[in-house]
């Protein structure tokens, strides 16, 4: 297999930015989902308000914003593209330039919670917030997660959590447990001479630092549409798109992949869980609304045969969440060779709650109510 495409999303839930190469780090690609938009809900006064996280699942208008990164000067541009069916009274196209790494000394610190995983972020300031507010038509705050800050990885997604659970079940269901599919690989890494994996952190990505999908699976989805329509891979919000898998959705059973760059050491990514999908797949990016007719049926089409994760059995699956094995990774580039270094005998079982210490497997199927999918 080869790396076909790479993507980052500087502001969570806005449109994807294609890149040709990137450094692999434990927290994800540099500049990926370091920013997030919040909607201000005021309680009758100027000083009191609540912050509501904005994701494209619930704010389809976010699909109208494109992003362009300029690494040479560490900036990026956000462009608001008005709906194609806009009325004459609506605003036109607008652009905003931002630093990829804002100076934080004078910025206000804000408590942010995403799916119950809390962190401290920085309010980027009135001028930028006013720009986004004018585009959306309501009051918005953009926050930035500075280096050194991160969110906890919840549930059984982090390799350490899978390992912890496996240790608890040792001697009982170690061979048949749904966790053994991941943990029969994780101990090999943790007990090797490689640098020990530290407790993972993530930015404003929902679940994990990386999401891996295959072009073969994207083509399978495309075949479900009439008239040769092609599924937009960016709607799946991947970081790494691979081409050359032996079949569509074979990645369901991958436990780890190895990336072999032309120069430098190889890099291993542990794939711990499936990515659960939501209605964001059906958004029309040209209008910032949910698509009508056939274009708005991608989620429904996947519901027919892709509800294959017992941990979230009423939602379809597409792609695998990944974590870098080494503390220091190398650079991945489009065209790099990729191989599957470990396969699972059965599909993993998704759990995004933080209940692993309770040892209650009966709760895993209903603990992901607040989980709309990767955005």
Q: Which phi and psi (to 5°) does residue 200 adopt?
A: -75, 150
Residue 105 has pLDDT above 80, yes or no: yes
Torsion angle of the four alpha carbons 250, 13, 374, 259, in this order, in degrees rounded to the nearest 10:
50
pLDDT in tens, 124-152: 999 999 999 999 999 999 999 999 999 99
Asked if residues 3 and 240 have their Cβ atoms less than 8 Å apart, the reply is yes
Could you tell me which residue, 188 or 297, shows the higher pLDDT?
297
Residue 337 has pLDDT above 70, yes or no: yes
pLDDT of residue 30: 97
Tokens, residue 278:
């939501």
Least confident of 234-238, 344-348, 369-373: 369-373
Could you tell me which residue, 225 or 171, shows the higher pLDDT?
225
Do β-strands 117-123 and 108-114 pair in parallel, antiparallel, or remain unpaired? Answer: antiparallel
Q: Which phi and psi (to 5°) does residue 253 adopt?
A: -105, 5
Average pLDDT over every residue of 42-70:
90
pLDDT of residue 35: 98
pLDDT of residue 365: 36
pLDDT in tens, 222-254: 999 988 889 999 999 999 999 999 999 999 999
Could you tell me what percent of the chain has a pLDDT over 70?
81
Average pLDDT over every residue of 74-94:
84
pLDDT of residue 284: 96
Residue 185 has pLDDT above 60, yes or no: no
Could you tell me which residue, 145 or 262, shows the higher pLDDT?
145
Instruction: Tell me which DSSP letter residue 215 carries.
Output: H
Burial 259-272 (b: 16+ CB within 10 A, else e): bebeeeeebbbbbb
Local confidence band at 162 (pLDDT 50, 70, 90 cut-offs): low
pTM given for the model: 0.88
- Please state, in angstroms and rounded to a whole number, the distance separating the CA atoms of residues 90 and 220: 38
Residue 17 has pLDDT above 80, yes or no: yes
Local confidence band at 210 (pLDDT 50, 70, 90 cut-offs): very high
- Going by C-alpha positions, the residue among 107, 85, 83 that lies closest to residue 93 is 83
pLDDT of residue 326: 75
User: Which 3 state secondary structure label does DSSP give 8?
Assistant: strand
> 122 CB contacts (<8 Å, ≥6 apart)?
102, 104, 107, 108, 109, 110, 143, 144, 145, 146
- Please state, in angstroms and rounded to a whole number, the distance separating the CA atoms of residues 331 and 64: 31
Per-residue 3-state assignment (H helix, E strand, C coil) for 43-101: CCCCCCEEEEECCCCCCHHHHHEEEEEEHHHCEEEEEECCCCCCCCCCCCCEEEEEECC
What value does the mean pLDDT of the chain take? 86
pLDDT of residue 229: 86
Tokens, residue 145:
């997660």
Tokens 């004018």 sit on residue: 134
Asked if residues 13 and 59 have their Cβ atoms less than 8 Å apart, the reply is yes
Burial 275-300 (b: 16+ CB within 10 A, else e): bbbbbbbbbbbebbbbbeeeebbbbe
pLDDT of residue 253: 98
Measured in whole angstroms, how far is the alpha carbon of residue 205 from the centre of its chain?
A: 4
């Amino acid at each position: 297999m080869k790396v076909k495409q790479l993507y980052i999303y500087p502001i969570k839930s806005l449109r994807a930015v294609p890149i040709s190469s990137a450094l692999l780090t434990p927290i994800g690609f540099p500049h990926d989902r370091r920013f997030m938009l919040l909607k201000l809900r005021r309680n009758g006064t100027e000083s009191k308000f609540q912050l509501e996280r904005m994701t494209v699942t619930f704010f389809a208008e976010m699909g109208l914003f494109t992003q362009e990164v300029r690494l040479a000067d560490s900036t990026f541009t956000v462009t608001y593209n008005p709906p194609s069916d806009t009325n004459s009274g609506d605003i036109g196209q607008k652009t905003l330039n931002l630093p990829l790494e804002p100076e934080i000394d004078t910025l206000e610190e804000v408590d942010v919670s995403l799916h119950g995983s809390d962190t401290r972020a920085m309010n980027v300031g009135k001028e930028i917030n006013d720009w986004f507010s004018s585009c959306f038509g309501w009051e918005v705050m953009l926050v930035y997660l500075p280096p050194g800050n991160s969110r906890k990885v919840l549930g059984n997604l982090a390799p350490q959590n899978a390992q912890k659970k496996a240790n608890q079940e040792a001697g009982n269901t170690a061979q048949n447990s749904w966790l053994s599919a991941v943990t029969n690989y994780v101990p090999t890494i943790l007990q090797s001479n490689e640098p020990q994996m530290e407790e993972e952190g993530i930015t404003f990505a929902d679940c994990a630092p990386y999401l891996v999908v295959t072009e073969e699976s994207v083509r399978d989805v495309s075949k479900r549409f009439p008239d040769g329509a092609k599924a937009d891979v960016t709607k799946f919000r991947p970081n790494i798109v691979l081409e050359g898998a032996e079949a569509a959705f074979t990645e369901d059973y991958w436990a780890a992949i190895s990336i072999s760059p032309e120069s430098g050491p190889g890099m291993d990514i542990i794939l711990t869980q499936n990515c659960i999908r939501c209605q964001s797949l059906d958004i029309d990016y040209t209008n910032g609304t949910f698509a009508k007719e056939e274009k708005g049926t991608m989620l429904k089409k996947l519901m027919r045969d892709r509800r294959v994760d017992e941990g979230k059995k009423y939602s379809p699956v597409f792609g695998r969440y990944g974590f870098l094995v080494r503390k220091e990774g190398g650079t991945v580039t489009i065209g790099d060779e990729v191989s599957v270094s470990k396969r699972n005998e059965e599909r993993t079982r998704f759990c995004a709650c933080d209940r692993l210490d309770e040892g209650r497997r009966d709760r895993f199927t209903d603990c992901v109510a607040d989980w709309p999918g990767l955005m």
